[in-house]
């Protein structure tokens, strides 16, 4: 067996850990379902709504929409509030923006190291 103890760049190691930490699997899982994206679109269009209203005109059963909304809430994408026998759901805009902002902040330094098959910018370049 080979002893490939290649010394890893500490900077790369740190960024790699940051990226892995910020890549919330639940968040992306919630967004990779077309039906859930459609629910998001409707919530933006009409604002906060109850389950029945959101499910109006969609082919899936109301119970399916209810489950999707619960999953979106667990992922921090929606928030809910009970109002009588109805439950109003709405997008959690600030939290979504915060999440994406965090991701962007972490992947920007990564991008400086990962420019495939092109000259990577050195620390004193880019002042074009």
Site string for DNA, 39-68 (x = CB under 7 A): -----------xxx------xxxxxx-xxx
Q: Which does 39 bind (CB under 5 to 8 A by kind): DNA, its own copies, none?
A: none
Q: Which two tokens stand for residue 116?
A: 């495939």
Residue 69 is a binding residue for DNA (CB under 7 A):
yes
Binds its own copies (CB under 8 A): choice among 94, 119, 122, 124: 94
The DSSP call for residue 128 is -
Residue 48 is a binding residue for its own copies (CB under 8 A):
yes
The DSSP call for residue 120 is P
75 HSE (CA, 13 A, CB side): 26
For residue 18, CA distances in Å to 77, 96, 115 come to: 22, 19, 18
Closer residue to its own copies (CB): 13 or 64:
13
Rounded Cα distance between 106 and 6, Å, is: 25
Q: Which two tokens stand for residue 94?
A: 């600030």
User: Which parts of this chain interact with its own copies (CB under 8 A)?
Assistant: 6, 8, 12-13, 15-17, 19-20, 23, 25, 28-29, 31-34, 37-38, 40-48, 78-79, 81, 90-94, 96-97, 100-101, 103-104, 107-108, 110-117
């Amino acid at each position: 067996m080979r002893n490939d103890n290649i010394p890893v760049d500490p900077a790369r190691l740190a960024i790699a850990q940051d990226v892995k930490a910020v890549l919330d699997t639940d968040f992306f899982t919630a967004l990779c379902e077309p039906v859930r994206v459609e629910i998001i679109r409707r919530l933006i269009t009409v604002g906060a709504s109850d389950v029945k209203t959101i499910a109006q005109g969609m082919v899936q059963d109301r119970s399916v929409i209810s489950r999707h909304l619960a999953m979106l809430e667990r992922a921090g994408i929606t928030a809910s509030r009970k109002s009588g026998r109805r439950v109003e759901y709405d997008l959690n805009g600030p939290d979504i923006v915060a999440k994406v902002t965090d991701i962007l902040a972490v992947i920007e330094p990564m991008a400086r190291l990962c420019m495939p098959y092109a000259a990577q910018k050195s620390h004193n370049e880019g002042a074009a």
